[in-house]
Each structure stands twice: as structure tokens, then as C-alpha cells.
């Protein structure tokens, strides 16, 4: 039993060591601004199309599914409120994070993993650079900036998707009613949790991706394994954390 628990506990410990080292280096020079920009481009611009597509259909599906229930209570004019609150609090942050975990946690794990197995990480250290500074920090900073922005975009596109279903398609409510409901129902609490979530998810996604990349062993096969693990672990953490952050805001 103890032997069974040892590897995950050790991995957890190593993960926190990496987290600690990254945060200690956060404000320490050098900053490798170019690498941050490149990563922001890969994560942000690269994920934008799928984030918008997913956001649109998430909003549309929500309006569609809610239409029947709202009809029963004769409250179809509330559809804007339901779509916007669900998106801002939960769907926007979680869906965007899952997409970015799938695209970028895997990308980071495979990139750093292949660097590890070809001894580029060792070379980096031997030649005077700290891989945490040069590789992990730019990915963390870039994800932490970009993921909240992507989430905001997903939220808006999602509301638009909801509007397409609610107004032109099903005539649940008028356009002005939809948008004013969508706006007015959002409280500070919703917006705060809608922005804190992606920020926390970003930190976890970047660190998990880099962590599994940096501890890759066993050649090319190991890289595939690291990639899969990074996506799975990052996605599970997104769900776990959204629950706890949500719980915190509910109890406020």
C-alpha cells in the first residue's frame, strides 16, 4: 500500500518544488520577454478559433436546452440571464481552460519532453541558463495573461450564440430584452469568479504541462506518455479547482 502511494506523493512533492522555483524566479532577471511573446502568440492566437467556436456553441446549446424548461414556467424572457451567468461563472472559464489544456499543456509537455530526451535541457543548464527561467516562466506568464482574455472572448461569443438561438431561431424573447437581461444579471461576484478561475487554471495548466515535460524519461515513447499525462492531469485539476473556487464564492 505504501509502495503504491509513493510515486504519486513524490510526484506531488516534485510538482510543488517546481512551482516554488518558478514563483521565486518570477520577478528575478532575466525575463526572456521574447519567449513570453512567442508563447502568448502560440497559446492566444493559436487557440482563438477553437475557443470562439466552442464558446458559440456552448451558449447556443444552453439557450436551446433551457428553452423548454423556461417555457414551462413562462419565463422565456429570462434566457439572457441564464446564459450569461452560466457562461461567466462556469462554462466560459472551464471550457476555455479545457481547450487550452488540450492544446497547450500537451504542447508544452511534448516540447519540453523532447528537449529533455535529446538532452537540450541538460545543455541549457550546462551552457549557463536556468530551464525554469527560460522555459517554465515564459509559459506560465503567457498562459496567465492569455487564458483570462480568451475566457472573456468565449463568454461574449457564447452570449452571442445564446442570442442566435433565443431570438432569431426560437423567438423566446426580444433582442433588447435578451441583452439587457444578460448584462444586468451579472454581479461583481460572477465577474470576479469568472476572471479568477481562468487565472488559477492558467497557472495549473502551464505548470502541469512543463512539469510532465521536464520529468520525461525513456526516449520518444516517454514524450507521448508525458503529453497524455499532462492533458489528463491538467483537465482533472480544472474540474477540481472550479468546484473549490465556486464553493468559496458561494459562501461569500
Partner 1 sequence: MTGDRGEPILRFEHVSLFFDEQPALDDVSFALFPGASCVILGAAGSGKTVLLKTAIGLVKPDRGHVWLFGRDITAIPESELVDLRSRVGILFQEGGLFDSLTIEENVAYPLLNQRALRCPRDQVRARVEAALARVELEHTLEKYPSELSGGMRRRVGIARANVTEPPLVLYDSPTAGLDPITAHTIMTLILKERDTKNTTTVIVTHRYQDGHLLANFRYNPATNRIEPLAHDGRHAASDTKFLVMREGRLVFEGSQAELEASADPYVQKFVKPLRN
Chain contacts with partner 1 (rule: CB under 8 A): 115, 117-120, 122-129
**Minimum gap (Å) between residue 138 Cβ and partner 1:** 13
Distance CA 245, CA 148 (A): 15
Contact 154, 92 (CB under 8 A): yes
Q: What angle do CA 200, 206, 209 make, to 5 degrees?
A: 135
- Comparing CB distances to partner 1, the nearer of 129 and 177 is 129
**Minimum gap (Å) between residue 122 Cβ and partner 1:** 5
Residues 6+ apart with CB under 8 A from 66: 79, 82, 83
Burial per residue of 136-150, b for 16 or more beta-carbon CB atoms within 10 angstroms, e otherwise:
bbbbbbbbbbbbbbb
**Minimum gap (Å) between residue 105 Cβ and partner 1:** 19
**Minimum gap (Å) between residue 129 Cβ and partner 1:** 5
DSSP codes joined into one string, 147-187:
HHHHHHHHHHHHHHHHHHIIIIIT--S-HHHHHHHHHHT--
Residues 6+ apart with CB under 8 A from 184: 81
Amino acid at each position: 500500500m505504501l509502495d503504491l502511494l509513493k510515486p504519486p506523493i513524490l510526484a506531488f512533492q516534485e510538482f510543488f518544488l517546481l512551482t516554488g522555483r518558478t514563483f521565486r524566479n518570477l520577478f528575478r532577471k532575466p525575463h526572456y520577454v521574447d519567449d513570453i511573446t512567442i508563447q502568448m502568440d502560440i497559446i492566444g492566437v493559436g487557440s482563438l478559433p477553437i475557443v470562439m467556436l466552442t464558446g458559440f456553441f456552448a451558449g447556443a446549446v444552453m439557450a436551446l436546452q433551457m428553452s423548454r424548461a423556461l417555457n414551462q414556467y413562462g419565463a422565456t424572457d429570462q434566457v439572457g440571464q441564464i446564459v450569461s451567468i452560466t457562461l461567466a461563472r462556469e462554462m466560459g472559464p472551464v471550457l476555455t481552460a479545457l481547450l487550452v489544456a488540450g492544446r497547450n499543456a500537451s504542447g508544452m509537455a511534448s516540447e519540453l519532453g523532447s528537449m529533455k530526451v535529446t538532452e537540450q535541457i541538460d545543455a541549457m543548464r550546462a551552457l549557463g541558463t536556468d530551464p525554469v527561467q527560460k522555459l517554465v516562466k515564459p509559459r506560465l506568464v503567457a498562459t496567465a495573461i492569455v487564458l483570462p482574455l480568451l475566457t472573456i472572448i468565449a463568454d461574449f461569443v457564447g452570449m452571442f450564440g445564446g442570442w442566435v438561438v433565443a431570438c432569431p431561431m426560437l423567438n423566446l424573447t426580444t433582442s433588447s430584452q435578451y441583452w439587457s437581461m444578460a448584462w444586468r444579471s451579472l454581479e461583481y461576484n460572477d465577474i470576479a469568479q469568472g476572471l479568477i478561475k481562468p487565472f488559477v487554471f492558467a497557472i495549473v495548466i502551464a505548470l502541469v504541462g512543463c512539469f510532465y515535460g521536464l520529468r520525461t524519461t525513456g526516449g520518444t515513447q516517454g514524450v507521448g506518455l508525458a503529453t497524455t499525462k499532462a492533458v489528463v492531469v491538467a483537465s482533472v485539476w480544472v474540474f477540481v479547482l472550479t468546484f473549490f473556487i465556486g464553493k468559496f464564492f458561494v459562501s461569500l
